[in-house]
Amino acid sequence: MAIKVKIIPTGVTEGPQEEGSIKIKIVADPPDEPKPVTVEMVARRALNGDIMIFDHDLIDIVVSPGKSKLITFPKNLKQREVYPTQDRFYEFMAKKGVIERSSIQGGNVYSSLEAEIHESKIEGIDSVQTAIFMTSIFLEQEKPDIFARRDLKQDMLQHFVDPDDEDSTELGEIPHSDKKGSLDHTVRPYGYQYMYSVLRESEEK
């Protein structure tokens, strides 16, 4: 038996249901009530109300409702890509109209950057929630680079810890010799030779 699907718009009086059919009612959302948007991020709320977001592999992003600021901290100061990532983030947020471009400046923590979040003048739109939502969009755009860096690190670790047969040798496969490459243990460093001469002269005196 075929199944019939009958769609009844809102406000239309429902008639008698046909035997063997399925009736589905679709209720339209009121135009004044936008649908809530849910985003998933690795985040934590601090005691002062700041929202700390840790999804990025190079920087930590802090949304501070109390100060109306966006602050970024480097995860590792040795990474050369930290500042370009911060620059991309604030450029993205400025173009989306979330932060005041002229307020971008260095923070009181070394290598951190911060910017002021615009005060929302649009009814029904919260500035802090907008900052969090746009941050999630930026992180989504950064995912290919984040995954690429993660895979590169994993490949390098695998290469050094467990190399394949082409890039490794068994113990004893290459015979030992007194001299390897540019290292010559028969010649002492100049500084050591100089100190030895000084000591020998002092002993002779």
- Taking the C-alpha atoms of residue 7 and residue 29, their distance in angstroms, rounded to an integer, is 16
- Taking the C-alpha atoms of residue 151 and residue 48, their distance in angstroms, rounded to an integer, is 36
Contacts of residue 56, defined as CB under 8 A and 6 or more positions apart, other chains included, come to 75, 85, 139, 142, 146
Return the amino acid letter for 103: S
Report pLDDT for 83.
94
Contacts of residue 55, defined as CB under 8 A and 6 or more positions apart, other chains included, come to 41, 42, 43, 139
Give the predicted TM-score (pTM) of the model: 0.65
Report pLDDT for 5.
44
Taking only the tens of pLDDT, the chain with its 205 residues reads 444 444 445 455 555 544 554 445 445 555 666 677 788 899 999 999 999 999 999 999 999 999 999 999 999 887 888 999 999 999 999 999 999 999 999 999 999 999 999 999 988 889 999 999 999 999 999 999 999 999 988 888 888 888 877 777 777 677 777 666 666 656 555 555 555 555 555 555 5
Report pLDDT for 200.
54
Burial classification of residue 60, based on how many CB atoms lie within 10 Å of its CB (0-12 exposed, 13-18 middle, 19 or more buried): middle
- Helices then strands (H, E): number in the chain? 3, 8
Residue 110 phi/psi, 5-degree rounding, is: -55, 130
